[in-house]
Amino acid sequence: MSMPNTRHRDAQTGVDEDNPLARRIVEVYHLLFERYGPQHWWPADMPFEVIVGAILTQSAAWANVEKAIANLRREDALNPAAIRALPMERLAHLIYPSGYYNAKARKLRAFVDHLGERYADSLDRLFALDTASLRAELLAVHGIGPETADSIILYAARKPIFVVDAYTVRVMARLGLADNGTDYHSLQALFTSSLPHDESLFNEYHALLVRHGKDVCKKSPQCDGCCLALICASPGA
């Protein structure tokens, strides 16, 4: 994972180095990467597993999601046909540790049904869509909202789209660049208009925001020990 060198990449990417907001977004990335290093989120060798994880992680702790995925793997059910073949009760039981198991069982089923009906279970075919069409296609599936759709596009399809989540809002609020009322697409646009459209960069940046949000912004109301403290506009916000 290489960090963007804004001094040299501007000419290549069109990122406006004179834009203080864009500079700040890039600066935050550098500071987070320096502090935490690469996060190794979802190496997409198993895109279907990534999609399952993206759905199961909705409002759930990742450790619990891992248990649910392990159950599915043990059942040899980490593929669309197997999930479709499972009785809903059995599917819900397997994903029980991730919480909301009945609701999430319906969501998983909705996705594999959609994938089967329209793409013959081929993620390659689904991912062949351009990003906007893919996003619209995913949003049409029950249980897939903006964040889950973007997570699938970024981490499974490996297309450059920025994922906004609760941690992103929390960290950006600390920096004075957002508040709790900032809508998803405005915050997403803040990143995509400030950074090179690079899939591995967006992957790493989102993972770093989650790491930082967990480590510091939540636990330390006064930004104690925060690597962003010097540029933090509103400690304690």
Closest distance of CB 91 from DNA, Å: 11
Buried b (16+ CB within 10 A) or exposed e, 37-74: eebebbeeeebbbbbbbbbbbbebeeebbebbbebbee
- Of the pair 6, 168, the CB lying nearest DNA is at 168
**Residue 155 C-beta: closest distance to DNA, Å:** 6
Nearest distance, CB of residue 170 and DNA, angstroms: 7
Cβ closest to DNA, residue 6 vs residue 39: 39
CB nearer DNA, residue 42 or residue 202: 42
Q: What is the residue type of 187? A: L
- 217 within 8 A of 170, measured Cβ to Cβ: yes
- The Cα-based distances of 87 to 11, 30, 68, 134, 143 in angstroms read 55, 47, 16, 28, 19
Spatial contact of 156 and 50, defined as CB atoms under 8 Å apart: yes
If the CB atoms of residues 28 and 138 are measured against DNA, the closer one turns out to be 138
Where on the chain is the footprint of DNA (CB under 7 A)? 41-42, 53-54, 57-64, 67, 96-97, 99-104, 141-149, 151, 155, 165-167, 210, 214, 218
Minimal distance, residue 179 CB to DNA, in Å = 13
Tell me the closest approach of the beta carbon of residue 25 to DNA, in angstroms.
20
Q: What angle do CA 154, 155, 161 make, to 5 degrees?
A: 10
Instruction: Pick the closer one to DNA by CB: 22 or 150.
Output: 150
